[in-house]
Amino acid sequence: GLAWTPDGRRIALSDERLRLLVMNVADGAVTVVDSSAIGAIREFDWSPDGRYLAYTATLDNLYHQVRIWDSRARKVHAVSDSLFDSFAAAWDPDGRYIHFLQARR
């Protein structure tokens, strides 16, 4: 899948090497954001202002972890704990909160 920023300047996508990439549409420059230990990163969602990218990565323990990439600082932040299976991250319309599902076993 692909996810365009709200302003249409960048595209988030995953590749066959289990990496999450962001491509700048104007010049074609590609940034490697993160990679998943097992399985492709398929769920990603841009914040309404296009600064943050929320996504789900598969961990070694086969759980999923919600992470956020800050495009300005170029840093990844884990949002959910690795001890719980978390997925389906989505931003609220104002971009102030992120919602996701979590399975607690």
Per-residue pLDDT 10s for the chain (105 aa) are: 799 999 999 999 999 999 999 999 999 999 999 998 788 898 999 999 999 999 999 999 999 999 999 999 999 999 999 999 999 999 999 999 999 999 987
Q: Which residues partner with 70 through β-bridges?
A: 52, 75
Radius of gyration of the chain (CA): 13
Q: What is the pTM of this model?
A: 0.93
Are the C-beta atoms of 47 and 70 separated by less than 8 Å? no
